[in-house]
């Protein structure tokens, strides 16, 4: 164990850890589906010069491939299914970016990521304004007190009036919009951005259909007025109106999650993207002490600690391994270090540690607070687990969503039952679905429980692709689950519209057709304990 080396040099190391933590920017890109998160992720990496061109056009719908959408199903469908982590250096900072899926069916993944970041970049589609998931995500960030940078994207397409958008943000989220850049040219005729901090106009010309950095011209305000005419005077009027209503940038308001900086972009054309990256470096919060389960805060310079916010397998087909994504909260992480797994009290050797760039991975030797580390084949680790060196700590549990969709899974080919079982266990371990069993149904027919039905498609696809275990589903009528006790199985065995199964973590779940079935049981069998599970899913109407 490398305890000696970490403690003996603690004085100089503490300053270094604080310095490294202050260089970290760890954030999630979030939005309603399709607003351009993966495209912006790609554009940010392009501006940091870590990739040469933004994904080549792949033909289908002229959609571009992105580094973060690497799963076959993501490429086929053009949506993100699973969050992806990208680490890269920019200016004097280290960026840890998490591109999340927008679809509500995958929101459990998105919410886990939000538990691990210090800030969020919220995209709004200029033509659509605030959509259902946008509002839910704003709420989740508010509950976590997470500062949000808002980006109005797709300004190259016809869209809404910018002032109306500012009003909508203010009225519906309660956050004060504080523009840092303003679009020059109406939506659909995006000429450039007025950088309100740098007091200059940056005019963009697209290059290589948006695959390369846009050409940039920097003009002072007089030259902008002269050359852009009406477009400039419109922007001037708009900015005046917005700033008159008290929306000047105030970093404290942003860090307190009460105001949101606004920037305009076209992620697809690389317009306004450098300004987003610079904003993240200049104003986004660095890694700072994170609250633990007891409400205390472990200083960043304390010995290493972190927690698992995601488990993902199948990233490397050749090795069939799975990776636990760890957010480093304190101290320095050194590869090979022996840490304690808070949930079991067992020690744990971190032999295979990597940094992540979409599906690409590279061995790392050390990581600092704010960094995301991939621990390979750390099969004991589950989402929400904490790890530490020396002084024990447990970070808050990551809320589990209440499943609302249930199906029986069966192997299509009985001779491949072993692969079927292994696949289901693995996908359950990754947290893609919950797995329920009962003696009555038998092990051949586990019940899969999900927040949204698209999770079943992911399971089916992965079972075929990764485990060569084709499977089929049988629908179940249930739409509601409650935690219960083992004796409820007997009581409810003859009740219509209800059933008790056991989840892999040992908990018993009572499933109900609908709220009426639940109410009937509550009334007729008052001895049965029924407790709501974690958080209601954001897909739920009850949410
Ligand atoms: N015109 C235009 N199209 C864009 C822009 N940004 C993204 N797109 C397109 O919008 C579509 C969706 O983009 P994605 O980046 O996959 O969106 P996403 O938010 O990651 O979607 P999910 O992850 O599935 O929620 C793609 O066809 C992109 O090429 C933009 O600024 N302008
Ligand atoms: Mg995406």
- Quickly list DSSP for 232-289: HHHHHHHHHHHHHTT----HHHHHTTSEEEEEE-BTTTTBSHHHHHHHHHHHSPPP-P
**What is the average per-residue pLDDT within 255-266?**
97
Over residues 3-15, mean pLDDT: 56
pLDDT beyond 60 at 4: no
**Do the strands 119-125 and 24-30 form a parallel or antiparallel pair, or are they unpaired?**
parallel
- Does the beta carbon of 272 sit less than 6 angstroms from any atom of ligand 1? no
Residue 75 Cβ inside 6 Å of ligand 1? The answer reads: no
Q: Which residues contact 290 (CB under 8 A, 6 or more apart)?
A: 297, 298, 329, 330, 395
- Which residue's CA lies nearest to atom 2 of ligand 1? 154
Expressed in angstroms and rounded, the spacing between residue 154 Cα and the centre of ligand 1 is 8
- Does residue 193 sit in helix, strand or coil? strand
Q: How far apart are CA 279 and CA 1, in angstroms?
A: 40
From residue 341, alpha-carbon distances to 307, 333, 430 in Å are: 10, 14, 18
Ligand 1 pocket check for 266: Cβ under 6 Å: yes
What's the pLDDT at 55? 58
- Rank 112-126, 205-219, 392-406 by mean pLDDT and report only the highest: 112-126
Pocket test for ligand 1, best of 65, 159, 267 (most atoms within 8 A of CB): 267
Nearest ligand 1 atom to alpha carbon 61: 27
Query: What atom in ligand 1 is closest to the CA of residue 102?
Result: 25
Question: Percent helix, strand, coil in the chain (nearest 5)?
Answer: 30, 30, 40
Give the pLDDT band of residue 543 (cuts 50, 70, 90). Answer: very low
For residue 37, the ligand closest to its alpha carbon is: 1
Q: What CATH architecture is 405-532?
A: 2-Layer Sandwich (3.30)
pLDDT > 70 fraction of the chain, expressed in percent and rounded: 92
Mean pLDDT lowest among 67-81, 165-179, 259-273: 67-81
Q: For residue 435, report the phi and psi dihedrals to the nearest 5 degrees.
A: -115, 130
pLDDT band with cut points at 50, 70 and 90 for residue 154? very high
User: Strand, helix or coil at 60?
Assistant: helix
Least Cα distance to 209 among 357, 39, 90 occurs for 39
Torsion, Cα 377 378 382 388, to 10 degrees, reads -150
Give the integer Cα–Cα distance in Å for 349 and 336. Answer: 6
Please tell me the distance between residue 206's alpha carbon and the centre of ligand 1 in angstroms: 17
* Angle in degrees, 0-180, between the axes of helices 162-173 and 132-144, rounded to the nearest 10: 50
Average pLDDT, the chain: 90
Check: CB of residue 165 under 8 Å from CB of residue 129.
yes
Residue owning the nearest CA to atom 9 of ligand 1: 36
Beta bridge partners of 216: 204
Q: Which ligand is nearest to the CA of 267?
A: 1
Per-residue pLDDT for 416 more than 80? yes
Q: Which-ligand-closest: CA of 69?
A: 2
Q: Does residue 10 carry a pLDDT above 80?
A: no
Check residue 400 and report its DSSP letter.
P
What are the extents of the domains in the chain? Answer: 26-88+101-283, 290-388, 405-532
35 CB near ligand 1 (under 6 Å): yes
Nearest CA to ligand 1 atom 30: 154
Give me ligand 1 centre to Cα 63, in Å.
8
pLDDT, residue 56, reads 40
Residue 229: pLDDT over 60: yes
Does residue 95's CB lie within 6 angstroms of at least one atom of ligand 1? no
- 95-118 burial string, b = 16+ CB within 10 Å, else e? bbbbbbbbbbbbbbbbbbbbbbbb
Compute the distance from residue 29 Cα to the ligand 1 centre, in Å: 12
Asked, colleague to colleague, whether 26-88+101-283 and 290-388 share their fold, the answer is yes
Per-residue model confidence (pLDDT) at position 284? 98
* Residues 29 and 98 sit within 8 Å (Cβ to Cβ): yes
Closest CA to 276 of 112, 428, 121, 469: 121
Region 230-239: what's the mean pLDDT? 96
Residue 109 Cβ contacting ligand 1 at under 6 Å? no
The domain over range 26-88+101-283 is classified in CATH as 3.40.50.300: yes
Q: Where are the beta strands (DSSP E) in 253-381?
A: 259-264, 290-291, 297-298, 305-313, 322-330, 333-334, 338-341, 346-349, 353-357, 360-363, 366-367, 372-376
Residue 60 has pLDDT above 50, yes or no: no
Which atom of ligand 1 is least distant from the CA of 79? Answer: 24
Instruction: Answer whether residue 262 shows pLDDT above 70.
Output: yes
Tell me the CA–centroid distance for residue 510 and ligand 1, in Å. 40
pLDDT of residue 148: 98
Closest atom, ligand 1, to C-alpha of 74 = 24
Mean pLDDT on 291-304: 95
Kindly give the distance from the C-alpha atom of residue 32 to the centroid of ligand 2, in angstroms, as a whole number. Answer: 10
Please give the Cα distance from 324 to 377 (Å, whole number). 8
Determine if ligand 1 sits within 6 Å of the CB of residue 396: no
CB of 203 sitting under 6 A from ligand 1: no
Q: Of the candidates 286, 265, 287, 260, which has an alpha carbon nearest to the alpha carbon of residue 276?
A: 265
Q: Is the CB of 210 under 6 A from ligand 1?
A: no
Rounded Cα gap, residues 285 and 118, in angstroms: 7
Confidence bin at 65 (pLDDT 50/70/90): low
- Across residues 488-508, what is the average pLDDT? 92
**pLDDT the model gives residue 5:** 43
Least confident of 62-66, 263-267, 291-295: 62-66
- Lay out the sheet containing 498-503: strands in order across: 471-475, 405-411, 447-450, 434-437, 498-503, 508-512, 480-484, 531-532
Kindly tell me if the per-residue pLDDT of 7 is higher than 50: no
Q: What pLDDT shows up at residue 78?
A: 84
Residue 191 C-alpha to ligand 2 middle, in angstroms?
A: 26
What size, in residues, is the chain? Answer: 543
Alpha carbons 475 and 408: distance in angstroms, whole number: 7
Residue 17 CA, chain-centre distance (Å), reads 26
For residues 424 and 73, give the distance between their C-alpha atoms in angstroms, rounded to a whole number.
18
How far apart, in whole angstroms, are the C-alpha atoms of residue 267 and residue 209? 12
Residue 54's pLDDT band, with cuts at 50, 70 and 90, is low
Helix axes 132-144, 107-114, angle to 10 degrees: 30
Binding residues for GTP: 99-103
Rounded to 10°, the helix 417-429/454-467 angle is: 130
Whole-number pLDDT of residue 406? 97
Q: Does the beta carbon of 110 lie inside 6 Å of ligand 1?
A: no
> If you take atom 32 of ligand 1, which residue's CA is the nearest one?
154
- Domain 290-388: give its CATH superfamily: P-loop containing nucleotide triphosphate hydrolases (3.40.50.300)
Tell me the mean pLDDT in the region 213-232.
Answer: 95
């Amino acid at each position: 164990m490398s305890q000696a080396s970490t403690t003996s040099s603690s004085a100089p190391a503490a300053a270094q850890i604080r310095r490294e933590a202050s260089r970290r920017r760890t954030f999630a890109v979030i939005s309603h589906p399709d607003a351009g998160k993966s495209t912006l992720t790609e554009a940010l990496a392009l501006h940091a010069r870590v990739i040469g061109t933004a994904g080549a056009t792949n033909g289908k719908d002229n959609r571009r491939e992105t580094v973060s959408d690497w799963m076959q199903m993501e490429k086929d469908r053009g949506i993100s299914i699973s969050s992806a982590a990208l680490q890269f250096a920019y200016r004097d900072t280290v960026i840890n970016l998490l591109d999340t899926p927008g679809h509500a069916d995958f929101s459990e993944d998105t919410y886990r990521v939000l538990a691990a970041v210090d800030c969020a970049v919220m995209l709004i589609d200029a033509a659509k304004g605030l959509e259902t998931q946008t509002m839910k995500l704003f709420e989740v960030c508010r509950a976590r007190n997470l500062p949000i940078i808002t980006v109005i994207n797709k300004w190259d397409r016809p869209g809404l009036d910018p002032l109306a958008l500012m009003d909508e943000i203010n009225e519906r989220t309660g956050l004060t919009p504080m523009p840092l850049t303003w679009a020059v040219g109406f939506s659909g005729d995006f000429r450039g951005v007025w950088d309100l901090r740098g007091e200059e106009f940056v005019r963009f010309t697209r290059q290589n259909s948006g695959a390369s950095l846009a050409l940039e011209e920097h003009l002072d305000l007089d030259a902008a007025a002269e050359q852009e005419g009406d477009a400039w005077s419109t922007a001037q009027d708009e900015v005046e109106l917005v700033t008159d209503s008290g929306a000047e940038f105030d970093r404290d308001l942003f860090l307190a999650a009460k105001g949101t900086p606004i920037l305009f972009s076209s992620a697809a054309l690389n317009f306004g993207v450098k300004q987003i990256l610079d904003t993240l470096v200049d104003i986004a919060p660095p890694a700072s002490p994170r609250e633990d389960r007891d409400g205390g805060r472990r200083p960043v310079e304390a010995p290493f600690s972190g927690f698992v916010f995601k488990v993902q397998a199948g990233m490397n087909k050749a090795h069939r391994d799975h990776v636990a994504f760890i957010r480093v909260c304190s101290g320095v992480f050194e590869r090979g270090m022996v840490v304690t797994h808070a949930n079991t009290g067992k020690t744990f050797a971190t032999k295979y540690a990597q940094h992540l760039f979409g599906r690409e991975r590279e061995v790392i030797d050390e990581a600092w607070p704010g960094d995301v580390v991939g621990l390979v084949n750390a099969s004991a680790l589950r989402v929400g687990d904490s790890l530490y060196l020396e002084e024990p700590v447990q970070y808050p549990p990551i809320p589990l969503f209440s499943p609302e969709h249930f199906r029986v899974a069966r192997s299509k080919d009985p001779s491949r039952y072993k692969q079927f079982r292994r696949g289901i266990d693995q996908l359950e371990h990754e947290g893609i679905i919950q797995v329920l069993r009962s003696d009555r149904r038998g092990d051949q027919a586990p019940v899969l429980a999900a927040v949204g039905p698209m999770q079943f498609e992911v399971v089916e696809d992965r079972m075929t692709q990764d485990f060569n275990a084709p499977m089929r589903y049988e629908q179940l009528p249930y739409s509601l689950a409650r935690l219960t006790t083992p004796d409820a199985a007997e009581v409810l065995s003859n009740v219509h519209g209800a059933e008790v199964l056991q989840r892999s973590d040992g908990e018993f779940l009572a499933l109900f057709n609908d709220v009426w079935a639940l109410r009937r049981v509550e009334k007729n069998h008052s001895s049965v304990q029924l407790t709501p599970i974690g958080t209601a899913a954001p897909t739920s109407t009850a949410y």
